[in-house]
Structure 1
Amino acid sequence: MTDLTLTVQATSHPDIIKLEANRALVKGSYEFKNIDEAKGAPLARELFYLPFVKTVYISSNFIALKRFPIIEWTDVQEEVREQVLIYLQSGKAIVNNDGGQEIATTVYTETTPNPAVMKFVLNKRLVPIVIEYKNATEATEAPIALALFENFPFITEVFLDDNYISLTKSDTEEWEQYTAAIRLFITNYANEGRTFISQAEIKKQQASAQAYWLSQTTNDAISQQIAALIEEHIKPAVASDGGNIQFISYTPDTFLVRVLLQGACSGCPSSTQTLKKGIQALLKSKLSNPKIQVEAI
């Protein structure tokens, strides 16, 4: 679907924009007023992770979005368009009338600047947070990492992030001998429905990372102002969709604002960038500082 295009169309209602495709997207019409109503509509669910999205309407060749008045469409509509276009071009389901059909996992490899490291990329998300294991002892709650250490003894490190696994090898072996075998191993492992990492391990890793970032919180006058703006304008909408956003820090020299995304927000990769841009636009406007940049953790 790489020839698919998506354009932003204004409507007579200032709270609503229309994303119009150059081909039909669905049969029939669908309207969703919250994330619970969108259980069978994966695209709508992802859009509801954006705190400013109030209603999603999908029909024929367009998607219409109604906003909460916490941001102007002109500040975020291009980011939203890009994220929706990426989703549509991926071929993922827009609406699952029958609950959808599970797609087989595929794996491809990518070389990295480090010759000792090979990247194995899957067509599904593995983890919501960066997790790293340096030996089998550390990986008791991560079955995929443990299996890789045990089946390929020359692997010295397993690194997981989003939809890929990066493996570091010892100097005694060359990737050319094992890349195909490892790719097949991971593919079979995934398609057998085996657990990659236990939920308890993911929660533990998330708690550790969040504790670290919360320990870095700044409390100067501008930081307090930013935290108040997030609490008033962003946090209520995020909370309504099962997520949370926490101000972490502000660096005056670089105008960098760090925020911590939790709950549903941290579990939605395609929305993180757009959410970040929305917060960035809000802070630039409210603080009258066009140099502010936001980093979502």
Structure 2
Amino acid sequence: MMLRQLFIQTRPTPNPSSLKFLPGKDVMPAGDQTMDFSSIRFTHISPLARRLFGIEGIVRVFYGKDFISVTKKDDLDWNIVKPEVLEVITDHYSKSLPLFTEELPAEDTQINDDDSECVAMIKEIIETRIRPFVQEDGGDVKYLNFNEETGHVQLQMKGSCAGCPSSAVTLKNGIENMLKHYVAEVESVEAVDELAE
């Protein structure tokens, strides 16, 4: 057990139901991408995520550049769940298994030819300024939409930020203020639930 804990470090996140697990190597094949699994039904592309969801009480798995963020049910004790999570992650990396069995979807902040100047700026700010900050806390933010008429930006909070008590503060005081500062057309930012997409 000591060897596992020396190999895989854990870090708390602002969400008490989420922990960051750092295996000591890059998790995502492309360091600028992330992957969020909010249900076992989305884990068909990742054997590791599927195994983590096999642990009773795990409700979300998120891959960042060099970490795996795992979210449990609020009423479970990390002392019970954490050893199982460490065992699954250690087993995965010790066997050098692939993280994905299918191609990853396109990145949400990729700037497309038909994006307006505002949308391109919003995507760039999310990618270069907001995403690194949010990933420090074991989560991520996904760009969904910008309504040019209302100035309304829709984002999805991912990883440990999804359901985190402090994510509303992060959204309004951090993300919204930064986007309004750099993009004059932005009036407001709203987090949209995955099911509402």
TM-score (structure 2 length as normaliser) = 0.52
Cα distance, 1:124 vs structure 2: 1.1
Task: Report the secondary structure of 1:168's partner residue.
Answer: strand
Task: Verify: 1:169 aligned to 2:72, yes or no.
Answer: yes
The CA deviation string for residues 173-222 of structure 1, in whole angstroms up to 9 with x for no partner, is 1101121231122112111011212351x2x2xx15245x4364407xxx
Instruction: Tell me which amino acid in the other structure corresponds to 1:218.
Output: E
Q: What do you get for the CA RMSD once the two structures are aligned?
A: 3.1
**Which among 97, 120, 128 is matched to residue 194 of structure 1?**
97
| Corresponding residue number in structure 2 for 1:107 | 8
Cα distance, 1:171 vs structure 2: 2.5
| Corresponding residue number in structure 2 for 1:137 | 41
Asked if the contact 1:121/1:163 (under 8 Å) is kept, the reply is yes
CA distance in 2, matches of 1:147, 1:259: 31
Q: Describe the shift of the 1:260–1:132 C-alpha distance in structure 2 as closer, same or farther (beyond 3 A).
A: closer
Asked if the contact 1:216/1:249 (under 8 Å) is kept, the reply is no
Structure 2 residues without counterparts, runs of 5 or longer? 1-5, 129-181, 183-197
| Corresponding residue number in structure 1 for 2:185 | none
Instruction: Tell me which amino acid in the other structure corresponds to 2:51.
Output: A
CA distance in 2, matches of 1:117, 1:142: 20
CA distance in 2, matches of 1:166, 1:260: 19
| Corresponding residue number in structure 2 for 1:249 | 121
**Which among 96, 105, 108 is matched to residue 209 of structure 1?**
108
Task: Report the secondary structure of 1:157's partner residue.
Answer: strand
CA distance in 1, matches of 2:124, 2:57: 41
| Identity among equivalent pairs (%) | 20
Task: Report the secondary structure of 2:45's partner residue.
Answer: coil
Task: Report the secondary structure of 1:118's partner residue.
Answer: strand
**Which among 58, 61, 66 is matched to residue 158 of structure 1?**
61
Instruction: Tell me which amino acid in the other structure corresponds to 1:248.
Output: A
**Which among 208, 218, 221 is matched to residue 117 of structure 2?**
218
CA distance in 2, matches of 1:106, 1:142: 22
Asked if the contact 2:109/2:126 (under 8 Å) is kept, the reply is no
Cα distance, 1:126 vs structure 2: 1.3
Instruction: Tell me which amino acid in the other structure corresponds to 1:106.
Output: F
Q: Which has the larger radius of gyration?
A: 1
Structure 1 residues without counterparts, runs of 5 or longer? 1-104, 220-246, 251-255, 262-292
CA distance in 1, matches of 2:72, 2:11: 15
Instruction: Tell me which amino acid in the other structure corresponds to 2:120.
Output: I
Cα distance, 1:153 vs structure 2: 2.3
Q: Describe the shift of the 1:159–1:260 C-alpha distance in structure 2 as closer, same or farther (beyond 3 A).
A: closer
Asked if the contact 2:43/2:49 (under 8 Å) is kept, the reply is yes
Asked if the contact 1:109/1:183 (under 8 Å) is kept, the reply is no
- Which structure has more relative contact order (CA 8 Å, sep 6+)? It is 2
How many residues align structurally? 121
Task: Report the secondary structure of 2:39's partner residue.
Answer: coil
Task: Report the secondary structure of 1:249's partner residue.
Answer: helix
Task: Report the secondary structure of 2:121's partner residue.
Answer: strand
